[in-house]
Structure 1
Amino acid sequence: MITVRYFAAAAEAAGRDDEQVPAGSGDAVRAALLTRHPALEPILGRCALLADGRRVGASDDVPAGATLDVLPPFAGG
């Protein structure tokens, strides 16, 4: 299992700040998140996924025990 942490609009769409999901490839994790939270669909494609601070691509492994941050684009600064 991995810990997923949602931020900003992703947290709003998921209706929670964090949860546990099975480990797997970036694509598998995205699919699991969309199955659990269909409201993420318009947002997740624009989000950066970071596993323990490293960007996750479609085929990258998200290993068990990792923390995955779901970060939508931020404006301003």
Structure 2
Amino acid sequence: MHWLVIIGAIVTLLGVGGLLRCVQLALAARREGLEGEALQARFRRLTLGNTIALGISALGLMMVITGLLLA
């Protein structure tokens, strides 16, 4: 199950990359000076992306753990 560990690590890194991208976009929204409803709408979209990236990262970690247990 060595291949499952490698694929899981790649999926985890993609999820972490997505999380970092969400942080980058949130900081960019703050720098743009958005306020009120516009800022909330942007953060609402970022929250969805953040949740998806977190789920992908968790799925990758599950794959790694499964691969290690089956090895």
What is the TM-score with the length of structure 2 in the denominator? 0.24
Structure having the higher Rg: 2
**Higher share in helix:** 2
**Higher share in strand:** 1
What is the TM-score with the length of structure 1 in the denominator? 0.23
